[in-house]
Amino acid sequence: MADYTGDIGQATVPKQRAKQLWKHTTVRRHVHPVLRGALAEMAPGLERCMYCGDNQGTDIDHFEPVHVNPLRTFDWSNHLLACSLCNSHLKRDLFPLADDGTPLLIDPSSEDPTAHLHLSLAVGKYIKLTDRGDATIKVFRLNREILARGRRNAYRITPLLLEDWRAAVEKGDEEDAAACAATIWEQPTADVVHAMFHQAVAPGAEVIFADDHETLALLRDPLIRTALLSAD
Ligand SMILES: [Zn+2]
């Protein structure tokens, strides 16, 4: 990777050289599969896209696009696993910057999105908390109906799975408990599960879960939190 970066740095037109190298047969055959495999292990659930959390992550995305910073084409910390919709159709070469030149998009591999985005669990849509949250919602169309609907489904089904998990633990059935935990985290839009655990212990939790005290109790249960948040 360092050799490729050196090569790009010495090229007359680095942008062009970076694109050429990234698509080179040797790189596609030998570098891409290794990168993709490592990213798949870091991705949420079943190799989900790190941006939408819904589709399978099929593409290696350059967080800072190649044309913006060719020297980061082979920089591991600039690679993310994304679905082709988020990578090729929505983000494309978009990389909005703030007035001070810093990126507006949230890097899901190194930043906590909850500082910029609040998930409204009841409607399944994100609410911007900052300009960066706003830009991220817009570029990835995070509030498109198909995602909102999937999140509402996850919000509905997760408390049932948490109850199943607890019942399995009480029976001493470790295998079933592990299967429940896997189902919880491997469902699409598992960002909902993160948001539920996060919001259950944040100020205003009693209002958010006003109609569902049982769910709130499950999400605050120390046994559940310890086991499931570490299983993610
Ligand atoms: Zn996606």
pLDDT in tens, 73-122: 999 999 999 999 999 999 998 999 999 999 999 998 889 899 999 999 99
- Res 231: pLDDT: 67
Count of the separate structural domains present in the chain:
3
CA 92 – ligand 1 centroid, Å: 12
89 and 100 part of one domain: no
Taking residue 113's Cβ as centre, other Cβ atoms within 10 Å add up to 20
CA 98 – ligand 1 centroid, Å: 23
d(CA 52, CA 148): 11
73 and 104 part of one domain: no
CA 36 – ligand 1 centroid, Å: 15
Domain range for 55: 1-94
Q: How confident is the model at residue 230 (pLDDT cuts 50, 70, 90)?
A: confident
- pTM value is 0.91
- Res 153: pLDDT: 97
Q: What is the pLDDT of residues 184-198, one digit of tens each?
A: 999 999 999 999 999
- Res 109: pLDDT: 86
CA 13 – ligand 1 centroid, Å: 31
